[in-house]
Amino acid sequence: MARYVFITGGVVSSLGKGLASAALGSLLQARGFSVRLRKLDPYLNVDPGTMSPFEHGEVFVTDDGAETDLDLGHYERFTGVPARMTDSVSSGRVYSTVLEKERRGDYLGKTIQVVPHVTNEIKEFLHVGEDEVDFMLCEIGGTVGDIEGLPFFEAIRQFSHDKPRGECIFMHLTLLPYLAASGELKTKPTQHSVKELQSIGIAPDILVCRSEHPIPDKEREKIALFCNVRKDAVVAAYDLKSIYEAPLAYHEQGLDQAVLDAFNISPAPKPDLRIWNDVSDRIHHTDGEVNVAIVGKYTQLEDAYKSFKEALTHGGMANRVKVNVSWVDAEVFDSEDAAPHLEGYHAILVPGGFGERGTEGKIKAAEFARTRKIPYFGICLGMQMAVIEAARNVAGISTAGSEEFDHEAGGKRFEPVVYHLKEWVQGNAKVKRKTGDDKGGTMRLGSYDATLTEGSKVAEIYGTTSIEERHRHRYEVDTKYRAQLEEGGMIFSGMSPDGKLPEIVEWTDHPWFIGVQFHPELKSKPFAPHPLFADFVRAAVEASRLV
């Protein structure tokens, strides 16, 4: 039966709860335990799938096709444990389940209330898979005191009360602000935040205190005394050069030891930190750097492209180079020459995206990369843009475009080389969609197999001809144009196993030009960089030597 660690936050948001949870997960693994990480989000959206990336950052897709919070990406990148649909829940999901049950009459005429019906539903979610791992780490989104978070806090309080003593602990993240005028770290906000937590019946076992300055012993003692935690359970979290230093930094500060102590696990198994030592070595000892442009639409908010940036960092680690990422807004050169905006980069990545805005600029970026022989990595929408560019400028289909843009604008302006996919095969089942379907959860989502062409560049990079990758899209490249495109030199080197859906395209007479319909960035880890990202960065290094 799993032991539970509940992770909450106070004082301010964005303290790095997700990162602390992920780092703790990796440290428990290093001590030989199995872990699963979970996120409970208080917002009322059923999942983040329909939220704008500006609102919520990237949507992280799991193998089993859930659209989840980007923190699940952190969890996977640090622990390597593939997240599942059941690892992410929002108030919206909980309420919609409760209301469905109410309509079905499952509650036998009772009055439906937040306590116990909503809290029971949350507790049920927490129990899923509890006999599979040693530790379940559950992060509560938001900050203690938020109105919408209350049912979750009540649910975890009850959950720990229901469980035998010693099977659940609470870890709370806070901030110690520094007052430059008096040269002091202030502990009062932490005390208030813990008080708030205690007022709803939760007494933290561990406090993780974010601080820009070293925490003096005296302050640590004060926090321990007034917040009623042991002194060695007051763990400092300092700013880091790279998020991948977090496991080692938290270990040095004693976080994993404090957790094991709180559970009375003694003697504590010794940690094997070789993986993280190697990762740290690769961050600190690089040989050269490359400049990569991410040409997208949501460039003002880095979180919108979180996994792309991380996967590029991993690619850099694989090659021991530093990857400098520049965010280039494609819309800027929608109607002007792209060259001045793209010259000087060693490689170009066009990530996923939705809607027409900025697509002409992305098509120009694909053309620029193709004709200048600059490494190009097109992911999902980025592959579709590369195909449209090839269709227009090489295969002579001058009005080539995507049905997505016609749907959006109404009317028919484009020859649809990228069309709306309405029927496909998932495992042994057929999936069907209509144009007017709901926006939420109706895409081709989750892990699908692909078969690669023997001798192609991608088969060489993967070192195999059968792969599994995660998807999140509605539109698909039409095989109707395959012969024309392949004649021009763009080959379809990866297909769905039934041969119907193009998964990968590549230009044969180019040093590195690959478009993929799936999202390889979601599966990359610092200790296991995704092969496509590792090779893309290698190609960028080569390109940098030619300049």
Q: How far is the CB of 417 from ligand GLN (least distance, A)?
A: 13
Q: Torsion angle, CA of 41/43/47/49, rounded to 10 degrees?
A: -120
Q: Restricting to residues 167-196, which ones interact with ligand GLN according to CB under 6 A?
A: none
Sort 286 into a burial class: Cβ within 10 Å, 0-12 / 13-18 / 19+: middle
Clarify whether 380 is annotated catalytic: yes
Q: How far is the CB of 510 from ligand GLN (least distance, A)?
A: 22
Clarify whether 192 is annotated catalytic: no
Query: By CB under 6 A, which span of 83-91, 305-313, 351-359, 434-442 interacts with ligand GLN?
Result: 351-359
Using CB under 6 A, pick the residue from 472, 510, 525, 538 that binds ligand GLN: 472
Q: How far is the CB of 353 from ligand GLN (least distance, A)?
A: 5
Active-site residue, from 380, 469, 473, 506: 380
Q: How far is the CB of 424 from ligand GLN (least distance, A)?
A: 12
**Separation CA 479–CA 498 (nearest Å):** 12
Interface with ligand GLN includes 251 (CB under 6 A)? no
Q: How far is the CB of 524 from ligand GLN (least distance, A)?
A: 16
Please identify, using beta-carbon distances, which residue of 197 and 418 lies nearer to ligand GLN.
418
Active-site residue, from 74, 172, 519, 530: 519
Q: How far is the CB of 446 from ligand GLN (least distance, A)?
A: 13
Query: By CB under 6 A, which span of 151-159, 260-268, 326-334, 470-478 interacts with ligand GLN?
Result: 470-478
CB-based contact 166:35 (threshold 8 Å): no
By CB under 6 A, how many residues form the interface with ligand GLN?
10
Using CB under 6 A, pick the residue from 353, 416, 529, 531 that binds ligand GLN: 353
CB-based contact 139:88 (threshold 8 Å): no
Strand-pair partners of 48: none
Q: How far is the CB of 178 from ligand GLN (least distance, A)?
A: 41
Active-site residue, from 138, 314, 521, 530: 521
Q: Restricting to residues 288-327, which ones interact with ligand GLN according to CB under 6 A?
A: none
Strand-pair partners of 379: 516
Query: By CB under 6 A, which span of 136-144, 272-280, 346-354, 405-413 interacts with ligand GLN?
Result: 346-354
- Joined tokens for residue 380: 């999902």
Residue nearest to ligand GLN (CB): 352
Sort 194 into a burial class: Cβ within 10 Å, 0-12 / 13-18 / 19+: buried
Please identify, using beta-carbon distances, which residue of 245 and 503 lies nearer to ligand GLN.
503
Size (the chain), residues: 547
Query: By CB under 6 A, which span of 125-133, 154-162, 201-209, 349-357 interacts with ligand GLN?
Result: 349-357
Residue among 312, 354, 464, 424 nearest 59 (CA): 354
Q: Restricting to residues 13-72, which ones interact with ligand GLN according to CB under 6 A?
A: none
Please give the biggest Cα pair distance in the chain: 75
Please identify, using beta-carbon distances, which residue of 84 and 297 lies nearer to ligand GLN.
297
**Separation CA 258–CA 251 (nearest Å):** 10
Please identify, using beta-carbon distances, which residue of 404 and 506 lies nearer to ligand GLN.
404
Contact letters for ligand GLN, residues 381-420 (x by CB under 6 A): x----------------------x----------------
Q: Is 328 helix (H, G, I), strand (E, B) or coil?
A: strand
CB-based contact 263:166 (threshold 8 Å): yes
Please identify, using beta-carbon distances, which residue of 259 and 383 lies nearer to ligand GLN.
383
Query: By CB under 6 A, which span of 62-70, 79-87, 179-187, 466-474 interacts with ligand GLN?
Result: 466-474
Strand-pair partners of 494: 452, 504
Phi-psi region of 491 (alpha: psi -120 to 50; beta: other; left: phi over 0): beta
Clarify whether 209 is annotated catalytic: no
- Joined tokens for residue 45: 């959206």
**Separation CA 181–CA 76 (nearest Å):** 41
Query: By CB under 6 A, which span of 233-241, 471-479, 482-490, 520-528 interacts with ligand GLN?
Result: 471-479
Using CB under 6 A, pick the residue from 10, 352, 520, 529 that binds ligand GLN: 352
- What strands lie across the sheet with 88-90, from one edge to the other? 88-90, 35-41, 135-140, 3-9, 168-175, 206-211, 234-238
Q: How far is the CB of 492 from ligand GLN (least distance, A)?
A: 17
CB-based contact 450:496 (threshold 8 Å): yes
**DSSP strand pairing (135-140 vs 35-41):** parallel
Contact letters for ligand GLN, residues 354-383 (x by CB under 6 A): x-------------------------xx--
Q: How far is the CB of 345 from ligand GLN (least distance, A)?
A: 21
Q: Restricting to residues 473-502, which ones interact with ligand GLN according to CB under 6 A?
A: 473-475
- Joined tokens for residue 233: 């359970």
Q: Which residue stretches of 145-240 are H helix?
A: 150-162, 188-199, 217-227
**DSSP secondary structure of 470-496:** EEEESEEE-GGGHHHHHHHTEEEEEE-
CA angle 349, 350, 354 (to 5 degrees): 155
| Sequence letter at residue 464 | T
Residues that bind ligand GLN (CB under 6 A): 352-354, 380-381, 404, 472-475
Q: Which residues are marked as active site?
A: 380, 519, 521
